[in-house]
């Protein structure tokens, strides 16, 4: 049950036919900012009053005269200049809680018009181990995939690996000039990562930007061109490198519980690139300039190269081939690119080129969406990166540290009924959950500072706190003997106290939260809800005895604990985080 959409639907019917733009006006029904004013608040009277030339309070009275409310709401109240405060009847909430308790989806409906989403996320360069800089795309993308699938959309996840670009030219040059053969045998991925860093140190510019007369960069570019042109030796080395790289990356994904339907790297699209260039030239979208082929979206702007002077193709060429392939193979309604905000201009140009190419547009083709996110910052408040070779933990090392610290927390806070033999499992679950939640609870468009202390805190808006709240619910149910087969899910629910009622509202808000989190592509909406739910449960737990409750209230309060546990578990699972029965 989506309480918010229920109310908006009622207001739309009340406004239809006499108010200008009833859809926009009904959308001004929002959750109340303070529970003492009610559960929700309708704020349309002020704007409607201005548009209709009437006092807002008069408009509010006219809305209520047309609104059907008495079957679900207490009598609405008009406050201030025209705010309409809305409070659900307890009887209605009790009925919806009973429905939720006896439904596999906790009463949460799927979308009425499901879409087909291709979600492109993670996309590391396979020539080096994953590092903390890959964290946000991987975690955000997995969460968005889970959210959309749960709501009923068809979701196709694709990990667009960097397995064919300039980094392999760097590796090939390093292999020929700076290889430590013994290290390659012992730890291939570590040696390849070392080569990448060492070769880049030799670039005159210190970056991947082309520097005139830089012999090392020129040599690396030549190796890339030879690979793209099918040079047998370079191709053989590429095939030799790839299994080591993929094995290392897949181990990290398995540990993070991240899954892909497809892993179609840049190499998959290599046979398609010449046709893309020819097609764009033929349509006049691209043209030759100084021996290269570029797309000039504006006459004065820098062109987006799709073939360099040396014949090598670019990321733009590959991305265009990828769009074309995904449209043909997957027939999506939406393609989401979960890529950091620094790539904004690239995607802006890419999407415009795809539009001119006829692959997408207002009336044809899928919606192309860049889902940007900020950087993970170190203690110096600068983006964490590995290019300069400084000491930055690789992602698997970072996860190891999170698990180690979580194990220490388990030892210090172990509950009486926690099982010591499960320490390793608990540490892994809490540690990795902490890393994920700390990222997902941020507004994705902002940077955040990576902090062990904050992410592993046992109080506050953290995974550990949510996992603990879930474990506490389960502990109460176990002590009361209310297991899956013995809990009375049809028990009468009592909302006699403010704490019980607040908890009921939080439980029943979950559907509107999931819809908002998916539609706005913001998992932090869900984490904010889980935090509110956990706080409401804590207040309930402190003020409403459960196991020692009177016999008339015990079944109801056990059922509320059960529903909270289910909401916490579902919410965390949609974020890619596991729960623990005993903590």
Q: Both 358 and 445 in a single domain? A: no
- Same domain as 130, residue 239: yes
- What is the per-residue pLDDT for 269? 95
Query: Same structural domain for residues 345 and 403?
Result: no
Residue 1 contacts residue 98 (beta carbons within 8 Å): no
**552 located within any domain:** yes
**pLDDT at res. 209:** 55
Count of alpha carbons within 13 angstroms of residue 213, beta-carbon side: 0
CB proximity list for 479: less than 8 A, separation 6 or greater: 547
Which CATH number goes with the domain that contains 562? 1.10.730.10
Residue 23: CATH number of its domain: 3.30.1360.70
- What is the phi/psi pair of residue 232, to 5°? -60, -45
Provide the token pair at 378.
């170190």
- 41 and 132 inside one domain: no
Helix (H) or strand (E) holding 398: helix 395-413
Q: Is residue 132 part of a domain?
A: yes
- Please name the residues in contact with 103: beta carbons below 8 A apart, sequence gap of 6 or more: none
The reported pLDDT for the residue numbered 385 is: 61
Task: Verify that 44 and 163 share a domain, yes or no.
Answer: no
Residues 359 and 495 in one domain: no
Tokens 């800089």 belong to residue: 133
Query: Which structural domain, as residue segments, surrounds residue 20?
Result: 3-88
* 102 three-class SS: coil
Please tell me whether residues 351 and 203 are part of one structural domain: yes
Q: What is the pLDDT along the chain (583 residues), one digit of tens a residue?
A: 899 999 999 999 999 988 889 999 999 999 998 888 899 999 999 999 998 899 999 999 999 999 999 999 999 999 999 999 999 999 999 999 999 999 999 999 999 999 999 999 999 988 777 878 788 999 999 999 999 999 999 999 999 999 988 888 999 999 999 999 999 998 887 888 889 889 988 988 655 555 567 899 999 989 988 998 889 999 999 999 898 888 889 999 999 999 999 999 999 999 999 999 999 999 999 999 889 999 998 877 788 899 988 888 889 999 999 999 999 999 999 999 999 999 999 999 999 999 999 999 878 889 999 999 998 887 778 776 644 444 345 788 889 999 999 998 878 777 665 566 688 899 999 999 999 999 999 999 999 888 888 888 888 899 999 999 999 999 999 999 998 889 999 999 999 999 999 999 999 999 999 999 999 999 999 999 999 999 999 999 999 999 999 999 999 999 999 999 999 999 999 999 999 998 7
Q: Find residue 156's DSSP bridge partners.
A: 118
Q: How far is CA 382 from the centre of its chain?
A: 23
Closest by CA to 386, choosing from 368, 373, 398, 371, is: 398
Any alpha helices (H) in 67-107, and if so which ranges?
A: 90-101
Lookup: tokens for 494: 């009592």
Residue 99 covered by a domain: no
Which residue has 């546990």 as its token pair? 565
Per-residue pLDDT at 207:
55
Burial (CB count within 10 angstroms: exposed 0-12, middle 13-18, buried 19+), residue 388: exposed
| pLDDT value of residue 472 | 94
Q: What count of residues does the chain have?
A: 583
**Whether 201 and 337 share a structural domain:** yes
Is 100 among the domain residues? no
Note the pLDDT of residue 392. Answer: 45
Nearest to 98 by CA among 474, 482, 507: 507
H/E run at residue 221: helix 215-228
How many DSSP H helices and E strands does the chain contain?
Answer: 23, 13
Q: Are residues 448 and 551 in the same domain?
A: yes
State how far the alpha carbon of 153 is from the alpha carbons of 114, 145, 171, 417, in Å: 5, 9, 40, 40
Of 468, 379, 485, nearest in space to 426 by CA:
468
The C-alpha atoms of residue 28 and residue 22 are separated, in whole angstroms, by 10
CA distance 491 to 368: 48
Specify the pTM: 0.92
Instruction: Please tell me the distance from the alpha carbon of residue 308 to that of residue 221, in angstroms, as a whole number.
Output: 10
Domain membership of residue 68 (yes or no) is yes
103 belongs to a structural domain:
no
Q: List the beta bridge partners of residue 88.
A: 73
- H or E stretch at 198: helix 188-201
Angle, nearest 10°, between helix axes 3-15 and 44-52? 20
Domain count, the chain: 3
Q: Are strands 83-86 and 367-371 parallel, antiparallel or unpaired?
A: unpaired
Q: Are 256 and 138 in contact (CB under 8 A)?
A: yes
Q: CA neighbours within 13 Å on the CB side: how many for 325?
A: 20
Q: Name the helix (H) or strand (E) containing 246.
A: helix 232-256
Would 109 be classed as within a structural domain? no
Give the largest CA-CA distance in the chain. 85
Tell which of 377, 405, 428 closes a domain: 377
pLDDT of residue 494: 94
Of 297, 291, 333, 299, nearest to 316 by C-alpha is 297
How many Å separate Cα 105 from the centre of its chain? 21
Whichever domain contains 207, its CATH number is: 3.40.50.620
* Partners of residue 305 on adjacent β-strands: 294
Taking the alpha carbons at both ends of the chain, their separation in whole angstroms is 31
Judgement on whether residues 148 and 289 belong to the same structural domain of the protein: yes
Domain assignment of residue 424, yes or no = yes
CA-to-CA separations, 292 to 67, 277, 283, 296, in angstroms, rounded: 65, 11, 17, 12
In terms of domains, do 226 and 287 share one?
Answer: yes
Distance CA 499, CA 542 (A): 9
Distance of alpha carbon 30 from alpha carbon 32, whole angstroms: 6
Q: Do 411 and 338 share a structural domain?
A: no
Q: Per the structure block, which two tokens stand in for 454?
A: 């904050």
DSSP 8-state secondary structure symbol assigned to residue 377: E
Neighbour tally for 142: CB within 10 Å: 27
């Amino acid at each position: 049950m989506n309480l918010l959409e229920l109310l908006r639907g009622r207001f739309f019917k009340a406004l239809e036919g006499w108010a200008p733009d009833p859809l926009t006006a009904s959308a001004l029904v929002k959750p109340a900012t303070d529970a003492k004013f009610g559960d929700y608040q309708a704020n349309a009277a002020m704007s409607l009053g201005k548009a209709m030339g009437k006092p807002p309070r008069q408009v509010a009275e006219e809305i209520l005269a047309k609104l059907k409310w008495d079957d679900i709401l207490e009598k609405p109240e008009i406050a201030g200049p025209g705010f309409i405060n809305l409070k659900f009847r307890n009887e209605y909430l009790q009925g919806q809680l009973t429905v939720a308790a006896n439904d596999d989806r906790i009463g949460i409906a799927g979308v009425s018009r499901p879409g087909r989403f291709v979600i492109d996320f993670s996309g590391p360069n396979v020539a080096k181990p994953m590092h903390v800089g890959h964290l946000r795309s991987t975690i955000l993308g997995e969460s968005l995939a889970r959210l959309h699938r749960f709501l009923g959309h068809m979701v196709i996840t694709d990990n667009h690996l960097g397995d064919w670009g300039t980094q392999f030219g760097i590796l090939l040059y390093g292999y020929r000039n700076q290889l430590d053969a013994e290290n390659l045998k012992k730890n291939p991925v570590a040696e390849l990562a070392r080569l990448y860093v060492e070769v880049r140190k030799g670039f005159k510019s210190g970056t991947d930007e082309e520097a005139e007369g830089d012999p090392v960069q020129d040599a690396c570019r030549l190796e890339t061109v030879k690979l793209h042109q099918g040079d047998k030796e370079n191709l053989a080395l590429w095939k030799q490198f790839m299994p080591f790289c993929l094995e290392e990356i897949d181990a990290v994904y398995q540990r993070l519980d991240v899954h892909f339907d497809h892993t179609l790297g840049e190499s998959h699209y290599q046979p398609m690139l010449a046709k893309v260039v020819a097609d764009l030239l033929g349509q006049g979208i691209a043209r030759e300039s100084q021996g290269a082929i570029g797309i000039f979206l504006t006459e004065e702007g820098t062109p987006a190269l799709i073939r360099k002077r040396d014949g090598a193709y670019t990321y733009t060429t590959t991305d265009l081939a990828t769009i074309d392939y995904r449209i043909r193979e997957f027939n999506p309604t939406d393609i989401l690119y979960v890529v950091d905000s620094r790539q904004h201009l690239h995607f802006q140009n890419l999407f415009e080129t795809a539009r001119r190419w006829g692959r997408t547009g207002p009336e044809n083709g899928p919606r192309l969406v860049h889902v940007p996110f900020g950087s993970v910052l170190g203690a110096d408040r600068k983006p964490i990166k590995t290019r300069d070779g400084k000491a930055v933990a690789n992602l698997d090392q970072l996860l190891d540290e999170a698990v180690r610290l979580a194990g220490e927390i388990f030892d210090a806070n172990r509950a009486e009924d926690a099982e010591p033999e499960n320490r390793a499992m608990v540490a892994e679950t809490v540690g990795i959950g902490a890393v994920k939640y700390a990222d997902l609870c941020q507004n994705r468009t902002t940077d955040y500072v990576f902090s062990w202390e904050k992410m592993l805190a046992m109080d506050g808006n953290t995974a550990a706190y949510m996992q603990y709240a879930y474990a506490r619910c389960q502990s109460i149910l176990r002590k009361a003997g209310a297991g899956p087969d013995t809990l009375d899910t049809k028990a009468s629910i009592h909302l006699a106290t403010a704490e019980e009622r607040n908890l009921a509202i939080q439980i029943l808000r979950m559907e509107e939260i999931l819809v908002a989190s998916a539609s706005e592509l913001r998992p932090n909406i869900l984490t904010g809800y889980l935090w509110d739910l956990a706080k409401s449960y804590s207040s309930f737990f402190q003020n409403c005895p459960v196991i020692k409750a009177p016999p008339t209230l015990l079944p109801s309060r056990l059922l509320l604990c059960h529903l909270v546990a289910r909401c916490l578990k579902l919410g965390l699972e949609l974020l890619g985080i596991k729960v623990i029965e005993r903590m």
